[in-house]
C-alpha cells in the first residue's frame, strides 16, 4: 500500500535553512569584509543575531580572551571606515558585532546567555530520551541525533528559539514598563492641572471677594453710612461673608 509523503513542516524548512547557513558559516574564518557584512545582515539576521555567540562565530565554551580576539577581528573587517563603499550597511554590521561583544563581556549577561544554552541542551536531552524510547519500540537501534553534528544542530535550533523567547519577553516587559510610565506621567499632568486650576479658582475667588466688599462699602457710603457702621454691617472672615444684618430705627432708616 502506497504511503503518503508527510507534509513539509516549518521545522523541516528551518532545519534545511539552518543546514545551508552552517555550511556557509564554516567558511566564516576566511570571509571578506563584504561577506561578513552580508552574513550579519542576511535575511533572518534579526533572529540569528539574538545569540551573541552566533554573531561572533564562536562556540559557547570559547574563552573570553579568544572571544575578544574574534570580536576585534570582526569589528575591523566590518568597520565603516574599511567599507566606505557600503558604509551604511557596514555601520549596521559593526553595531551588531559591538552589541554581541558587550553582551559577552559582561559577566552577568554572558551567564544569562550560557543559562539559555544549558537549558537548550537539557531540554534537547530530555526530548532525545523520549525519541530513543520511541525508536526502540519501532525496532530502531539509533536516532539521527546520535550523530554529534546533528545533536549540535538540535541544540542550536532550540537555543535560537529560547533566545527569541527571551527577546519577546524583554520587549513585552519594556512595553508594559513604558505604558506604566506613560500612565503615571499622564496622572501627574492631570494632578498638576487640577492643582493649577484649584489655585487659579482660589485666586479668582479671593479677588471677587475683595471686589464685592468694595462694592458693598461703596454702596453703604453712598447711603451715608459711617465707616464704623460699615464694619458692623460687613464682616469678611476667611474669605467668606458673614450675613449682613439690616436694622431699622424708629424712622425706618438703615443704621
Q: Determine the average pLDDT of the residues in 95-99.
A: 96
Q: Determine the average pLDDT of the residues in 244-249.
A: 42
Residue 1 has pLDDT above 50, yes or no: no
Residue 189 has pLDDT above 60, yes or no: yes
Tens digits of per-residue pLDDT, 121-133? 999 999 999 999 9
Tens digits of per-residue pLDDT, 61-76? 899 999 999 999 999 9
Q: Determine the average pLDDT of the residues in 189-210.
A: 81
For residue 36, count other CB atoms closer than 10 A to its CB: 20
> What 3-state DSSP class applies to 121?
helix
Q: What is the model's pLDDT at position 204?
A: 74
Tell me the pLDDT band of 237, cut-offs 50, 70 and 90.
Answer: very low
**Helix ranges, the chain (H):** 10-25, 33-40, 45-48, 52-56, 64-77, 87-105, 107-137, 148-222, 227-233
Question: Can you read off the three cell numbers belonging to residue 37?
Answer: 557584512
Q: How far apart are CA 70 and CA 65, in angstroms?
A: 9
Residue 4 has pLDDT above 50, yes or no: no
Tell me the pLDDT band of 35, cut-offs 50, 70 and 90.
Answer: very high
Q: How far apart are CA 156 and CA 21, in angstroms?
A: 12
Give the rounded distance of the alpha carbon of 62 from its chain centre: 30
Amino acid at each position: 500500500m502506497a504511503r503518503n509523503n508527510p507534509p513539509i513542516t516549518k521545522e523541516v524548512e528551518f532545519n534545511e535553512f539552518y543546514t545551508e547557513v552552517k555550511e556557509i558559516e564554516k567558511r566564516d574564518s576566511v570571509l571578506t569584509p563584504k561577506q561578513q557584512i552580508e552574513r550579519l545582515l542576511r535575511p533572518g539576521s534579526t533572529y540569528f543575531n539574538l545569540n551573541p555567540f552566533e554573531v561572533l562565530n564562536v562556540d559557547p565554551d570559547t574563552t573570553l580572551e579568544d572571544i575578544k580576539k574574534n570580536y576585534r577581528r570582526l569589528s575591523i573587517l566590518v568597520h565603516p571606515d574599511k567599507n566606505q563603499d557600503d558604509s551604511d550597511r557596514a555601520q549596521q554590521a559593526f553595531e551588531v558585532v559591538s552589541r554581541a561583544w558587550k553582551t559577552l563581556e559582561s559577566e552577568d549577561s554572558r551567564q544569562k546567555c550560557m543559562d539559555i544554552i544549558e537549558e537548550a541542551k537539557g531540554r534537547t536531552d530530555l526530548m532525545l530520551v523520549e525519541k530513543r524510547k520511541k525508536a526502540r519500540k519501532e525496532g530502531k537501534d539509533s536516532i539521527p541525533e546520535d550523530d554529534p553534528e546533528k545533536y549540535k544542530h538540535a541544540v542550536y535550533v532550540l537555543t535560537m528559539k529560547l533566545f527569541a523567547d527571551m527577546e519577546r519577553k524583554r520587549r513585552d516587559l519594556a512595553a508594559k514598563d513604558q505604558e506604566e510610565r506613560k500612565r503615571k506621567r499622564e496622572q501627574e499632568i492631570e494632578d498638576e492641572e487640577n492643582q493649577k486650576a484649584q489655585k487659579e479658582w482660589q485666586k479668582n475667588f479671593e479677588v471677587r471677594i475683595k471686589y464685592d466688599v468694595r462694592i458693598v462699602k461703596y454702596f453703604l457710603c453712598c447711603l451715608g453710612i459711617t465707616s464704623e457702621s460699615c464694619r458692623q454691617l460687613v464682616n469678611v472672615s476667611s474669605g467668606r461673608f458673614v450675613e449682613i444684618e439690616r436694622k431699622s430705627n424708629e424712622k425706618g432708616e438703615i443704621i
